[in-house]
Amino acid sequence: MPDTARSRIPDIARAAGVSTATVDRVLHGRANVRVQTAERVMRAAAALDYLPAEQALAAPAPLHLTFLLPAGSNKYLQMLGETVAYGAEHLAPAPVRCRVQQVEGFDPQALAQQLLRHGRRSDGIAFMALDHPLVREAVRELAESGVPVVTLISDLSSSRRCAYVGLDNRAAGRTAALLIGRFLGKRSAQVALIAGSRSYRAHEEREAGFLSLIDEMFPSLEVVGLREGHDDAAMNQRQTRALLEQYPRLAGIYNIGGASDGVGRALQQAGRGEQVVFIGHGLTPDTRALLIDGTMDAVITQGPQTLIGNALRVFCNVKAGRDAFAGIDPLRLSLVLRENLP
């Protein structure tokens, strides 16, 4: 572009209804601009003879992305799936087309097969990883065929994935332990954990973080073990009921995974909803209701829009040859209590 054209950037900004900084980002192909906004800027640039019309209006081919999410009753994951379509339209910095496919969440062989099946027809694939050799091998095959893979919420150790988008899960577990310890004070008590599955690295890391902080700061609390509920509300309800019967001194529960509504129902049915400190993950209509009625004390969450938006930006960065996390802020843990419900 000629230097004399620089003075016309404010004209483009006015015509497109955006800031001059946004115009600069669009014209130089930088991230963090909505697709519709970028198209508006390019049309304005063409109308003002700042760019040749054919260059300004040429639409890049959209990226075809697949999100593989576990099937089941986990309300947070259902919300995540619903957010994908919104994210493709409003959060991606380049044209994308997204589809969501449900997969068996706790079967590594089925997950590996679905990764390869959907990966062959996609420009990128995002999924919640089971930490298993079959899954790592499927990710390796996709990477070698040029299909970038992003892990969501739960990462995959020693793999060829291009990026992990999610919380620091060890920090999340330590946060839960600190909350339970502070709520219970210095008294001697028993606390328990319920996970979806230790096959999820996220759940394993949350457990490790929880146990380490309890050991460091709250020696009077006895952790009575971890049970798996496969993020299923009915199974979580049964596991919680069994814990309450087996451990009469149980005073705290940390639900590492999803389906906290099952835990909440068991506490309510036992008349222990306001006696047991209950911490869980994922702000959903169910956990919101549990916070409001006092059954749940705190929810550790990551915003679905931020999670999906970051994943989409990673794919666009990789496609453009940029660093995967260029222009992307780290995902931060949010702590929600009844008094600060959004």
The pLDDT of 246-263, averaged and rounded, is 96
Residue 126 sits in a domain of what CATH number?
A: 3.40.50.2300
Give the rounded percent of residues in the chain with a pLDDT score beyond 90: 73
Residue whose tokens read 């979580």: 236
Both 205 and 318 in a single domain? no
Residue 31 has pLDDT above 70, yes or no: no
Residue 74 confidence (pLDDT): 87
Residue 3 confidence (pLDDT): 45
Confidence (pTM)? 0.82
Residue 57 has pLDDT above 60, yes or no: no
Distance, CA of 234 to CA of 324 (rounded, Å): 39
Both 150 and 102 in a single domain? yes
Residue 313 has pLDDT above 50, yes or no: yes
Both 183 and 292 in a single domain? yes
**Residue 149 CB coordination number (10 Å):** 24
Which residues on neighbouring strands pair with residue 222, listed in sequence order? 190
Residue 4 confidence (pLDDT): 45
| Amino acid identity for residue 47 in this structure | A
Supply the mean pLDDT for the chain. 90
Both 265 and 209 in a single domain? yes
Residue 116 has pLDDT above 60, yes or no: yes
267 half-sphere exposure, CB direction, 13 A CA radius: 26
Residue 210 has pLDDT above 60, yes or no: yes
319 half-sphere exposure, CB direction, 13 A CA radius: 24
Both 82 and 41 in a single domain? no
Residue 317 confidence (pLDDT): 93
Domain that holds residue 161: 63-167+304-332
Both 310 and 162 in a single domain? yes
Structural domain contains residue 175:
yes
What pLDDT digit, counting tens, does each position of 71-81 carry? 988 899 999 99
pLDDT category of residue 194 using cuts at 50, 70 and 90:
very high
Residue 45 confidence (pLDDT): 80
Structural domain contains residue 133:
yes
Structural domain contains residue 57:
no
Distance, CA of 208 to CA of 241 (rounded, Å): 24
> Which residues, 6 or more positions from 222, have their beta carbon under 8 angstroms from its beta carbon?
188, 189, 190, 191
Structural domain contains residue 229:
yes
Structural domain contains residue 341:
no
H or E element at residue 38: helix 35-47
Tally the domains of the chain.
Answer: 3
CA distances from residue 94 to 12, 34, 88 in whole angstroms, order as listed: 20, 7, 9
Six token digits for residue 14: 């006015």
Phi, psi of 101 (to 5 degrees): -120, 135
Structural domain contains residue 203:
yes
Residue 36 sits in a domain of what CATH number?
A: 1.10.260
Both 173 and 274 in a single domain? yes
Residue 335 three-state SS: strand
Six token digits for residue 165: 């988008």
The pLDDT of 131-152, averaged and rounded, is 97
Both 157 and 176 in a single domain? no
Q: Classify strands 63-70 and 96-103 as parallel, antiparallel or unpaired.
A: parallel
Both 11 and 95 in a single domain? no
159 half-sphere exposure, CB direction, 13 A CA radius: 28
Among residues 41, 40, 127, 34, the alpha carbon closest in space to that of 87 is found at 34
Both 185 and 36 in a single domain? no
The pLDDT of 27-31, averaged and rounded, is 65
Give the rounded percent of residues in the chain with a pLDDT score beyond 70: 93
Residue 17 has pLDDT above 80, yes or no: yes
Phi, psi of 104 (to 5 degrees): -65, 120
Residue 2 has pLDDT above 60, yes or no: no
Residue 93 confidence (pLDDT): 79
CA distances from residue 179 to 27, 69, 250, 290 in whole angstroms, order as listed: 48, 29, 16, 17
The pLDDT of 4-30, averaged and rounded, is 77
The pLDDT of 65-92, averaged and rounded, is 90
Structural domain contains residue 340:
no
What pLDDT digit, counting tens, does each position of 36-54 carry? 677 788 778 878 877 665 5
Structural domain contains residue 136:
yes
Both 32 and 179 in a single domain? no
Both 176 and 284 in a single domain? yes
Distance, CA of 10 to CA of 64 (rounded, Å): 34
pLDDT category of residue 56 using cuts at 50, 70 and 90:
low
- Residue 153, Cβ density class (10 Å: 0-12 exposed, 13-18 middle, ≥19 buried): buried
Residue 35 confidence (pLDDT): 62
Residue 94 confidence (pLDDT): 79
pLDDT category of residue 32 using cuts at 50, 70 and 90:
low
